[in-house]
Amino acid sequence: MMFACGSAANAYSARVNSACERDYYRFCAKYSIGTPELRSCMLASRRALSRRCVDALVAAGEVPKRYLTSVKR
Query: Using H for helix, E for strand and C for coil, what is the string for 3-68?
Result: CCCCCHHHCCCHHHHHHHHHHHHHHHCCCCCCCHHHHHHHHHCCCCCCHHHHHHHHHCCCCCHHHH
The pLDDT > 90 percentage for the chain reads 37
Average pLDDT over residues 42-67: 88
Give residue 5's pLDDT: 43
67 has a pLDDT exceeding 80? no
Task: Collect all residues with Cβ–Cβ distance below 8 Å to 23 and sequence separation of at least 6.
Answer: 42, 45, 48, 49, 50, 53
pTM of the model: 0.73
d(CA 51, CA 55): 6
